[in-house]
Structures are given as structure tokens and as C-alpha cells.
Amino acid sequence: MHKKLVDFVSFLQKTIGPNVVTLSALDQAKDPRDRLVSKSKIYVKPQSTKEVAIILGQANKKNIKLVPVGGSTGLVGGQIADNNNQVSLSLEKMDVISFSKEDGLVTAQAGAILSEIKRIVLEAGRVFPLSIASEGSCQIGGNLATNAGGLNVIRYGNVRDLCIGIEAVLPSGRIVSSMKALKKNNMGFDIKNLLIGSEGTLAIITAAILKTFPLPVDPLVAMISVRYPSQAIRIFKRISENFADRLLAFELMKKTGIQFLNKTGYKINYPFSEIAPWTILVEIDINIGKTSLRDEIEETLSEILKKELASEIVICQNLEHKKEMWKVRELIPEANRKIGSLCSNDISLPIGKIPDFIREADLGLLSISDKIVVNCFGHVGDGNLHYNVFPIEKKFKEALEKDRAKILKLINDLVSNFSGSISAEHGIGRSKAIELAKYEDEGKLDAMLAIKSALDPKHILNPGVIFNQEV
């Protein structure tokens, strides 16, 4: 271990306590897709914001590089240390959660598990609507750092929209607190929204105040089969015209996703006799006070069927049936991991351009290889697609790895041509830093670098994340 690191560890153990540092390989952060493993040998685990401030202040003084680690569920390598001279900073011991019935707000430390926040809020008869596949292990600090999205963005927004106050520690060790439960606050720059989505490159988020919402009562859930993505977009527009403020989710799944579930042994209750080319899952909050919109929504769905926009529609009749339908969508990422992708693309597009993108991307991939299959699914209601590329059989994966860069370029070029984003909800991390430099506006990149250099002049926080080089 480098002397500088030895001195750093010794200082923390003397100042905070001997248990603040662990040197165990068991703590190593990993990429869930097993492409990256952290090289850090030192894990620092504070128990308070004050301790985080001490750690950052000393790291800044000694020029120690810090890599923040949450639940290690990130898919773009933001939690991965590049070398063993970098120190991993985990806030897993800071997991206190409190709920205020008076104002319906929940306060959580950064290490709190998302599912635990949701459980506490639900027990109080409300909902914290951030819903993502990794919610059983991801931490709210990481959710905030990446501006996580998920299933309910169409109604409630990203986690940035769900956060009303924030506490963080700057690289200097200075604590920044904006933990005021105010809907209106125009006192200077909006530091909260600057830090949310900055992926641990500007500060370490230590706590937040989060909004909660009334629990939807018996929402309508329906599964719809269609032949083409263009039909799905027309259905979305039709439903949005009448029920935009009530629409909770609008998900689209390619046939491949259902096939993957069957192939990997997941037991699902898919409602149609044959797997549709594309399947829509829609959820609508049908109750306004004592008035139910069920009849009106069912009539709209009937019209969609009559106009041949859809092939079949199944409306869930009870809670168990709803859970079964949602299980189909929620298990697809797990099936993907079992199959093993060549590359996974978290992209955002103007909703109306989604069908054209899918068509051109599919054709482009055929020109690269006929041994490729695409599992495309996502939150179409907010323009977010997960366009994931797989070998048609496992035996072809190794040979196709040579084409991975070509595949990524094809998809990213198309996303750019369609005025989309190469990262919708997963962040940039290390994996997409080169692409960000290529596809993002140069003026914006200059502004981002200026902010980074102003807040973190020694560039100790998350080196290599967002920016293509250690600046």
C-alpha cells in the first residue's frame, strides 16, 4: 500500500475510529453484468455526515481519490475503482429513515435501501413512487446521484422531481445543507438539482427529503398485444389524450423478452395464447375522490380494439392478476442477465420517433451479423428504451464480442440522429464517458468541466466518471 494511503487510513482510524476502514475483498464493488470489478483495496464506511466531512477533508488535503459506492447496482461502472490507489467510500451504515405524517415527507440517509423507504411510506398509507428493478438492494444516495428513473416517471418524474431537500459534503469537507421542506425556495443557485445526477463527481450526497403521494386505489391494469411499435405509440397517444394525468405506467415489451422468461425458467402468467410481437402493459389511476373512471377507460380500450390498433386486450380483474401481469415486465431484466447480453443500451428518444429508430436499428444490426437477437423493452410513455443486443445462441457470444464496438456505434449514432440521449436513466459512469464526449454539445461539456473544477479543484471525487479522462 502506498505511504500516502497508509497515512490516510491511519488518520481516519485515529480520528473517527478503527472500524471506519475495512480491507476485505468481500467489499469489492462489481458491475451487475460482471464486466467490471473494482480494484480498490480500501473501503471507508462512515456512520454520519460529520464523519463523511472528515474523510473528504483529509482526502482533499492528501490528494486521495475517492470512489463512492452505493448498492453497487449501477450498470455503467460509476461505482468501480480503476486502480488500487483509489479508496471506495460506502455510506451503507448511514441508513436512517423517518416519515412525517404532517407533511407527507420522508427523510432518508444516503445508505437507506430503496425498498425499505417504500415499505415505511406504504405502512403510512402513502407511496414513494420510484420503482426500479434493483430496489431491493440499491441505496437512495445512488438513486439521487444517478437521477434514477424507472417505471413511474410518466406520472411522478425522475428522482430529481421527487426530492425536495438535500444534504451533501463537498470535496473540501464543507457540508452543504438544503434540508428545508419548502415548495418555493429561490435563495440563490439550485445546488440540490445540480448535485442530483452528478454521479458523485461534485459532492457526496448524505441525506435527502423526499416527496410521497397518496396511494392509488385499485388502479386499472391492462395488457395489450400489438403487431408493431407504431401501434403502441398510437395507443399511448390515444390514452394520453383522455387520461394523461391519471396514467401511471405505459410499458412496451418485444416478443424476445417473453421468450427469454420462458427460456430461463421463470413461471409467468402471460395472458395471450400466442406470444405477441409486442406487448403493452398499461396502468391507470382510475379513482378521483369518489368517482371512478373505470367505465370510461374500458370504453377507450374497447375502441382501440375495434379500430384494430390492438390484437387483444386483457383487463386485470383483481389484485393477484395485476401482480402476475407486472411480474412479466419486472422479471425481464433478470432474464436478460441470465441470457447474457453483448451490449445493453439505455436510451431516450422523442416518443414519436421510437418506431423508426427500432426499424433502422434492427436493419443495421442485420448488416453486422445474422447471429444477433434484440430484446427491446422499456418505459415508452417517457421515451425510454432498453435496446439490448444478444447472441442468438450462447455459443456465438465470444465470436460476436469483436463486433461489440461496432454495434454500440451503430446504436449511438442512430440515437444522436433521432435527437435522443445515449443515457436515459442509468447515468454515464465510466462506460459511457467516451460516448458522452462524442455526442454531447461541446458548450455543455465545457460548462460541466468548469463546474467540476470549481467544486473539486483537485479532482478527488470519482475520477474517470462522466469525464473521459482524469481531469
- At 471, the pLDDT band (50, 70, 90 cuts) reads very low
b/e map 15-37, b = 16+ CB within 10 Å? ebeeebbeeeeebbbebbeeebe
Largest CA distance in the chain: 74
Average pLDDT estimate for 128-153: 95
Average pLDDT estimate for 209-221: 95
Per-residue pLDDT reduced to its tens digit, 339-360:
999 999 999 999 999 999 999 9
d(CA 255, CA 247) in angstroms, rounded, equals 24
Averaged confidence pLDDT in the chain: 94
> 37 vs 79, 90, 416, CA distance in Å?
9, 16, 30
Please give the full DSSP string across 314-354, using - where no structure is assigned.
EE--SHHHHHHHHHHHHTHHHHHHHH--SB--EEE--GGGH
- At 469, the pLDDT band (50, 70, 90 cuts) reads low
Average pLDDT estimate for 219-242: 96
Percentage of the chain exceeding pLDDT 70: 98
- At 25, the pLDDT band (50, 70, 90 cuts) reads low
- At 32, the pLDDT band (50, 70, 90 cuts) reads confident
Joined together, the cell numbers standing for residue 163 give 426530492
Per-residue pLDDT reduced to its tens digit, 194-210:
999 999 999 999 999 99
- At 425, the pLDDT band (50, 70, 90 cuts) reads very high
d(CA 235, CA 383) in angstroms, rounded, equals 14
Helices 229-243 & 294-306 angle (0-180, nearest 10): 150
pLDDT at residue 254, rounded to an integer: 98
Average pLDDT estimate for 20-40: 77
Q: Sketch out the chain's domains with CATH numbers.
A: 3-92 (3.30.43.10), 97-214 (3.30.465.10), 220-333 (3.30.70.2190), 340-427 (3.30.70.2740)
* Contacts by 320-323, CB closer than 8 A, 24 or more apart: 321/221, 321/269, 322/219, 322/221
> 433 vs 199, 352, 363, 445, CA distance in Å?
12, 28, 27, 11
Beta bridge partners of 411: none
Per-residue pLDDT reduced to its tens digit, 271-321:
999 999 999 999 999 987 777 889 999 999 999 999 999 999 999 999 999
pLDDT at residue 65, rounded to an integer: 97
- Strands, sheet with 87-90, edge to edge from the N-terminal-most edge strand: 21-22, 42-44, 87-90, 66-69
